[in-house]
Chains A and B, each alone.
Chain A
């Protein structure tokens, strides 16, 4: 048995370690958010009285950034839609498989472990060979490879909620395959589908390496921002970073909330 004093000391140490870890992870982005609120041209922590949204207001006038943002949002939407749909099919196929299961699982996950630079380069070579002009779609193709393994895992996990006997019961009551899918599988995995969509969207939005090889004339946001940084950063970059960070947090928070909600709700 651990004595009370020992237990308390341990607990304090563990909490301290956890908080330090969290600080290391979250301090930089929050610092970024903080300097985005500084109206001065030089980056630095603003004093509380100086807080201003100047750079956020200026964002709308940055043509290049706005166009890049629009491009990224488009790519992310295409990626998220396709990743969710294809992963759903892949996960359903996995469920039907017996012997090929582990091979299929590996095949779906492997793209996750291929370095983005290599994947981007490979795709770009092939697209050039096929005379496909780089565009929103070529970037989305690269991002699909990146986002799909994640979406696949999320959806596969959510399929765990669909017990085999539910499907047997539905069949027993007269439902054919399509009705079983629509009436039983779909409602039970909906939270998983939403999560998969949001994950894929965010992964695409933040991706740099693959996009770098595959973009056409219009840069995606991370590439545009990288270029801006090299060219001497305007503080609007910090504002945009801050905005994206906050929106991302919001999305993930939403997913978590939904997750928690599904446990108790019916219908």
Chain B
């Protein structure tokens, strides 16, 4: 059965480095939840604590309301697919998958049945007798998955399981995770630095940075309403402008003397984030006025061109434009930019972490 997870004020120091800084989080039973962040963000430390491989200095972890903070890994109803897979090199595929059942003292016949099912689930039905050291990367990946899933865990922890696979295999396995999540119904927690994986698979995800969670939401919300400038940049919204002022009520901001309707909440020091997918080089409807910038540089990028443009006050941004349109423009020309509804969002500046 899927397990619900509650994390309360988790903190972990490694010497002078605070790997986790007062992290709290709730993950619903059966959810596919992703911890997204660059290396050193604390996402792997958090996963290790969920698996029972490390203990927090402060804070608690609850599975279905039960405190498991001090429970060692071998007594937790969670199973892990490790980053390096950690297949036992001295055991065959079937022995690897059966290991957890063997430890539990489950009978031989029952073991064989469940191993067979698990291998069939990851489409390795005939691979039981194979030497794990001689399998391909994707096959090893599947063995590691089967070894965890055969335990029928309430929580499956995936620690960067797709790093080290080539692009094609990566996509294939990514889809596999989605399928297995539906089949098993367990709570899946994926740790990754790959935004693509996170956005494709997750019901909800958390972006982590320096041991803190910057935002927890469903994937589209990170674009509609990024919590702060860091999150906006992390998901690829690079155009962050400092407004001269925000109209009372917060419906519009003024950037370099030009009025710009905005969504989001006006907080002190708020920045205007421009979503690159909601900028257009041609009018989109009746009567909306474009922003006017001046082109500084045009860079050919293959299937598109990057146009670097500046406002009068020196703030700049990069717009992706079709190659044909970019070819008709030159540095020094004015650039008219229509912002579609929801294209401009107010975001909080990134607060320096309180330390």
In the complex, the chain B residue whose C-beta lies closest to that of A161 is B89
State A39–B148 Cα separation when bound (angstroms): 69
> B79 to A173, Cβ gap below 8 A?
yes
Greatest chain A CB density within 10 A among B74, B75, B131 is at B74
Asked if B354 CB lies within 8 Å of chain A CBs, one says no
Asked if B84 CB lies within 8 Å of chain A CBs, one says yes
Q: Which residues of B have CB within 8 Å of A267?
A: 90-92, 95
Asked if A226 CB lies within 8 Å of chain B CBs, one says no
In the complex, the chain A residue whose C-beta lies closest to that of B98 is A173
> Could you mark each residue 51-83 of chain A with 1 if its beta carbon is under 8 Å from any beta carbon of chain B, else 0?
000000000000000000000000000000000
Contact of B73 among A161, A171, A188 (CB under 8 A): A171
> B86 to A187, Cβ gap below 8 A?
no
> Could you mark each residue 83-106 of chain B with 1 if its beta carbon is under 8 Å from any beta carbon of chain A, else 0?
110111111100100011001100
> B91 to A175, Cβ gap below 8 A?
no
| Tally of contacts, chain A with chain B, CB under 8 A | 76
At the interface, is chain B mostly helix, strand, loop or mixed? Answer: mixed
Contact of B53 among A168, A173, A183 (CB under 8 A): A168
| Minimum C-beta distance from B63 to chain A (A) | 15
Asked if A253 CB lies within 8 Å of chain B CBs, one says no
A169-B82, A172-B80 known; A266+B99 contact, CB < 8 A: no
Q: Which residues of A have CB within 8 Å of B91?
A: 266-267
Asked if A101 CB lies within 8 Å of chain B CBs, one says no
Q: How large is the interface on A (under 10, 10 to 19, 20 to 34, 35 or more residues)?
A: 20 to 34
> B73 to A165, Cβ gap below 8 A?
no
> B104 to A188, Cβ gap below 8 A?
no
State A179–B103 Cα separation when bound (angstroms): 8
State A187–B73 Cα separation when bound (angstroms): 22
Residues of B bordering A, CB below 8 Å: 51-53, 72-75, 78-80, 82-84, 86-92, 95, 99-100, 103-104, 131-133, 147-148, 151
In the A-B complex, list the 7 residue pairs whose CB atoms are closest, starting with the nearest: A173-B100, A165-B86, A169-B86, A171-B73, A174-B103, A266-B131, A171-B74
Contacts A165-B82, A169-B88, A175-B103 known; list 4 others, CB within 8 Å: A161-B89, A171-B72, A174-B103, A184-B88
A–B Cβ pairs within 8 angstroms, 27 of them: A161-B89, A166-B88, A168-B53, A168-B73, A168-B82, A169-B80, A169-B87, A170-B99, A171-B73, A172-B52, A172-B53, A172-B80, A172-B82, A173-B103, A173-B147, A174-B74, A174-B75, A175-B99, A175-B103, A183-B99, A183-B103, A188-B90, A266-B131, A266-B133, A267-B90, A267-B92, A267-B95
